[in-house]
Amino acid sequence: MLYLWGLNHKTAKLDIRERFHVAKEEIPTHLRNLVQISNVEEGMILSTCNRVEIVSNVSDLKATDLIKEYFFKAKNVEAAEVETLAYSYQDGQAVSHLFRVASSLDSMVVGEAQILGQMKEAFRVAMDVGTTGKMLNRCLHRAFYVAKRVRTETEISRYPVSVGSVAVDLALRIFENLKEKVVLLVGAGEMMQDVARRLYQAGVTEMLVTNRSHGKAVELAQEFQGTTFFLEKLAQHLPRADIVMVCTGSEKPLIDLAMVEQAMEHRKHVPMFLIDLSVPRNVDVKITEHPNVFLYDLDHFETIVKENLDLRQRQMVDAEAIIAQEKHVFLEKMDEGRMDPVIQSLYRKAEDIAQVELAKTIKMFEHVTPEQKEALEKMTQAIARKMLHGPVEEIKKEARNSQDHSTLRSLLSRLFKI
Please give the residue ranges that form the binding site for another protein (CB under 8 A).
152-153, 155, 158-159, 170, 172-176, 268-271, 288, 291-292, 294, 296, 300, 303-304, 307-308, 311
The type of residue at 307 is E
Catalytic residue among 13, 18, 32, 49: 49
Closest CA to 289 of 246, 267, 260, 268: 260
Which runs of consecutive H residues, i.e. helices, occur in 3-90?
A: 14-20, 27-36, 62-74, 79-83
**Lateral strand order in the sheet of 87-90:** 40-47, 51-58, 2-8, 87-90
Q: Which residue, 320 or 336, is less far from another protein as judged by CB?
A: 320
Minimum distance from residue 304 beta carbon to another protein (Å) = 6
Closest listed residue to residue 260, CA positions, set 246, 280, 277: 246
C-beta of residue 262 within 8 angstroms of C-beta of residue 235: yes
Q: Least separation, in Å, of the C-beta of 406 and another protein?
A: 41
Which residue, 307 or 340, is less far from another protein as judged by CB? Answer: 307
Task: Output 173 or 367, the one with its CB closest to another protein.
Answer: 173
Nearer to another protein, 200 or 301 (CB): 301
The DSSP code for 129 is H
- Of 86, 28, 82, 24, residue with least CA distance to 53: 86
Min CB(155)–another protein separation in Å: 7
Between 35 and 171, whose beta carbon lies closer to another protein?
171
Q: Which of 191, 219, 224, 223 is nearest to 206 (CA)?
A: 224
160 vs 187, beta carbon nearer another protein: 160
Alpha helices by DSSP H, listed for 202-243, are 214-223, 234-237
Note if 49 is an active site residue: yes
Q: Which of 328, 287, 300, 180 lies closest to 242 in space, CA to CA?
A: 180
Beta bridge partners of 45: 54
Query: Using CA atoms, how far apart are residues 412 and 276, in angstroms rounded to an integer?
Result: 73
Write the CA distances from 310 to 23, 105, 150, 300, 358, integer angstroms.
34, 13, 17, 16, 70
DSSP secondary structure code for residue 22 in this structure: -
Nearest-approach distance from CB 260 to another protein, in angstroms: 14
Nearer to another protein, 189 or 271 (CB): 271
Buried b (16+ CB within 10 A) or exposed e, 89-126: beeeebbbbbbbbbbbbbbebbbbeebbebbeebbebb
Tell me the closest approach of the beta carbon of residue 291 to another protein, in angstroms.
Answer: 5
* Segment holding 208, helix H or strand E: strand 206-210
Minimal distance, residue 119 CB to another protein, in Å: 24
- Cβ 32 to another protein, closest distance in Å? 44
Of 168, 138, 80, the closest CA to residue 329 belongs to 138
Cα separation, 147 vs 252, whole angstroms: 48
Nearest Cα residue to 327 out of 155, 202, 149: 149
Active site residues: 49
